[in-house]
Structure 1
Amino acid sequence: MVIPEDLLFQHGAVVKTYSENEIIFSEGSFAKNYFQIQEGTVKISNTFDDGKELVHGFPFNGHCFGESYLFTDTPFGMDATALTACTIISLTKSHFINLVKNKPGILLDVNRYTAERLHFRYLVSSFLAISDPMVKIQRLLDHLKNYFDYTEPYSFQVPYTRYQLASLTGLRVETFIRVIKKMQALELLKIESSKIYY
C-alpha cells in the first residue's frame, strides 16, 4: 500500500464503498480527496464522444489514484470508475495536506508510486508508435511480470481480462485474442482454463 491505512485513519480517513461501474470521480471535476483502494479494482480512463475509451490503468488493492491532482488546482483529466465492487479509503484534501506536512516522508512514498505509474503510462503511450500487435502485448506482459516480481517462464498468471489487456494496448479484443493464440503456438505464453500464464 502507498500510505499505511492506520496513518490515514489517524488523520480522519473514512472507508467508502462503490458498486461495480459506479463513478468515483469524473473528468473535469476537482480533487477533493485522496483515494487509496482497500479492496477491488478501479478503471482510470477517458471516454470520447464517439463512445471510444482510452484506458490508462487498473489500480487495485493498496494503490492510490488521482493523487497528483491534490497538488494543483487543475481539474481531473480522466474518469475513475469502480471496475469491481470496491472499498476505498478516502481522506479529504485538507487532511491529506496536513498529513504530508506532519510526515514529509509520506510524500516520498506517494511520489515514488506516482513515478512508477508515470513510467507505466510512458510505456503504454509508446505502443502508439508500434504497429506489430505481438510486440505491444509482449512489452505489456514483460512490464507486468517484472512489476509483480516473476522471472520464470509461465510463472506469472496475468491478473487482467483479455478486454482489459486489449484496452491497455489499444488493440481490439478480437485482435488481442488472435495474437495471444499465436503467442501460445510460439510457446511465448500458456493458456490454461482461460488464464494467461507468461
Structure 2
Amino acid sequence: MNIDEDLLYSFGGEDRVYKKKEMIFKEGDHAQYYFQIVKGKVKLNNYNEDGKEFIHNILGKNQSFGDPLLFLDQTYPYPMNAVCLEGSEIIRLPKDHFIEMIKKHPNLSLEMNACFSQQVYFKLIMMQSMSAQNPIQRLKGLLNYLKSYHDGDCTHCFTIEFTRQQLANLTGLRVETVIRTLKKMEQGGDILFKDRKILY
C-alpha cells in the first residue's frame, strides 16, 4: 500500500532514518505503527529453533508494512522482525492516528482491502509452491509472487533484486540448490541473467 506522504504527515506521520541492519521492530513487539518506506529496503524475517533464517518478504520504496495488525481490536505481537537491508527512510504513523485517517478517508480502506486481498491470494499461491518438493516449482512460485507487485505482464522484463542467499531464505532451499535450479531455469528459457541480475 502506498498512501500519499502529505496525508500521512498531516495525521502526525514522522520521518525515521534507520541504518543498514538496524531493526525497526522485532518478533514479539506489539504493533503500534503504520510504516511506509520513502527510500531503502526492509526485510521481514524470523528464525527457526536451529537459527535458520526465513525471509517472508523484502520491501522497497512506496511499500508499507505492519499495517494488517493495526485493524485488530487487541494489540497483537508482530510474528516477525523488520530489519533494514540498507540505510532507509521510513514514515511512521501511530496506530490511533492511522485509524483516524482511515475513518476520515474511507477510500483508503477500500484500497487497503484490495491490497490485503492481493497479498493473501499470492501468499496462498506461494504456500502451494513451497509445499512442492520440486525446487523449480518453489522458485517459480516465489518469482510469480514478487512479479505480482510489478505493473505489466511481460516476459523477462522484471528484475529480481535479491541475492541467491535471499532467494534460498525465501524458499527454504539451500543456496547451492537455488544456484543449480536457476541455471536449469535459464536453460529452459524461464529466466535470463544480465549483469548478475535475474530477469523474469
The answer to whether the superposition gives a TM-score over 0.5 is yes
Structure 1 window deviating more from structure 2 (166-175 vs 142-151): it is 142-151
Question: By how many angstroms is 1:93 displaced?
Answer: 1.1
8 Å contact from structure 1 (residues 150, 156) kept in 2: no
Q: Partner of 2:192 in structure 1?
A: 190
Q: Using a 3 Å threshold, how does the CA distance of structure 1 residues 32 and 167 change in structure 2: closer, same or farther?
A: same
Using the aligned pairs only, state the percent identity: 38
Aligned partner of 1:140 among 139, 142, 151: 142
**8 Å Cα contact 1:30/1:76 also seen in 2:** yes
Q: Report whether the alignment pairs 1:91 with 2:93.
A: yes
Of 40-49 and 120-129, the range deviating more from structure 2: 120-129
Q: Cα offset for 1:150?
A: 4.2
Deviation at 1:152, TM superposition (A): 3.5
Q: Does 1:175 align with 2:181?
A: no
Deviations 1:133-188 (A, max 9, x none): 01111232234334313434322222222222222222111100111111212222
How has the CA–CA distance of structure 1 residues 143 and 32 changed in structure 2, closer, same or farther, with 3 Å as cutoff? closer
Distance 2:34 2:182 in 1: 37
Amino acid corresponding to residue 92 of structure 1 in structure 2: P
Corresponding letter in the other structure for 2:163: T
Range with greater deviation from structure 2 (162-171 or 87-96): 162-171
* Aligned residue identity for 2:47: T
CA contact (8 A) 2:123 2:145 kept: no
Counterparts of 1:27-46 in structure 2, within 5 Å, are: 27-46=27-46
User: Aligned residue for 1:74?
Assistant: 76
Q: What RMSD, in angstroms, separates the aligned Cα atoms of the two structures?
A: 1.7
Question: Deviations for 1:41-87, whole angstroms, at most 9, x for unmatched residues?
Answer: 11111112321122111121111111111122211111111122110
Unmatched segments (≥5 aa) in structure 1: none
Query: Could you tell me which residue of structure 1 aligns to residue 57 of structure 2?
Result: 57
- The one of 117, 125, 129 equivalent to 2:131 is 129
Q: 2:4 — aligned with what? A: 4
Provide the residue aligned with 1:48 in structure 2: 48
**CA–CA distance in structure 2, aligned partners of residues 24 and 95 of structure 1:** 19
Deviations 1:7-39 (A, max 9, x none): 001111111011111111111111111111111
Q: Is the 8 A contact 1:2 1:109 kept in 2?
A: no
Q: Cα–Cα, structure 1 residues 92 and 142, in superposed 2: closer, same or farther, change >3 Å? A: closer
Give unpaired runs (5+ residues) of structure 2: none
Give the structure-1-normalised TM-score.
0.92
Change (3 A) 1:152 1:20: same
Distance, in Å, in 2 between the alignment partners of 1:29 and 1:186 is 44
TM-score, normalised with respect to structure 2 = 0.91
2:153 equivalent in structure 1: 151
The alignment partner of 2:15 has SS state of strand
Maintained 8 Å contact 1:36/1:62: yes
